[in-house]
Amino acid sequence: MTSAHYEFDRDATIHEHSHPEEEVYEVLEGEIEIVIDGVSHAARPGLVAVVPANARHFVRALTDGRVIVVDHPARPDFG
């Protein structure tokens, strides 16, 4: 498992990509839009977004905020 804590600014983005790990976004503050295989979802405190392994996804910050991102299994590129 890999976990990371990020602070984000409104309108920040993560480009569309995929990876073999499942990924979970838990928003601590603020709100993000996450598009998973073409379907848009909102995530904010109290909600999580789960990205299945190999799913195409991108993220856009709707507000300033903070998020924890967890990947399983551990991502080798974060070593």
Tell me what the pLDDT averaged over the chain comes to.
94
| pLDDT tens string 33-73 | 999 999 999 999 998 999 999 999 999 999 999 999 999 98
In sequence order, what DSSP letters do the residues of 18-69 get, joined into one string? --SSEEEEEEEES-EEEEETTEEEEE-TT-EEEE-TT--EEEEESSSEEEEE
Residue range of the domain that includes 10: 2-78
Percentage of the chain surpassing pLDDT 70? Answer: 97
Strands 57-61 vs 32-36: parallel, antiparallel or unpaired: antiparallel
Q: Can you tell me the distance from the alpha carbon of 34 to that of 67, in angstroms, rounded to the nearest whole number?
A: 12
Query: What's the pLDDT at 74?
Result: 82
- The 10 Å Cβ neighbour count of residue 72 is 13
Q: Output the pTM of the full model.
A: 0.88
Residue appearing with tokens 């109290």: 46
> Looking at the 3D structure of the chain, how many domains does it have?
1
CATH number (domain holding residue 72): 2.60.120.10
List 48's β-bridge partners, or say none: 26
Query: What's the pLDDT at 78?
Result: 67
Q: Residue 17 pLDDT more than 80? A: yes
